[in-house]
Amino acid sequence: MTDQPLHPDECQTMRDVRAGVDATDAALIKLLEIRFGYMRAAARIKDDRNVVRDEARKAQVIAQAVTLGEAAGIPAAHIRSVWEELVEQSIAYELGVWDATRQG
């Protein structure tokens, strides 16, 4: 038995699929840990709480994700929905860090 999950096209059972999903989720969490680290850095760098929310940058990030997703064969609506939530949660996290690091 290998530690690497099968490629989706090689899966023969739901056990194969679930192992792949679990491994992918673990990898996504590691990437989100890095992404949220950048949100902590942004909170540290930004002098003004009012610039945490940047609608132009939000639109740019979502558009880039949609473009990448479509190139990978993922429908734009699904990517847009996931990234909308990801960016909103990132903003909320950054605001929380910004506030916590400037209290008292």
Residues of each annotated binding site for substrate? 18, 35, 46, 94
Residues 91, 36: Cα–Cα separation, whole Å: 10
Q: Strand, coil or helix: what is 1?
A: coil
Residues at the binding site are 18, 35, 46, 94
- Nearest to 8, CA basis, from 95, 96, 72, 92: 72
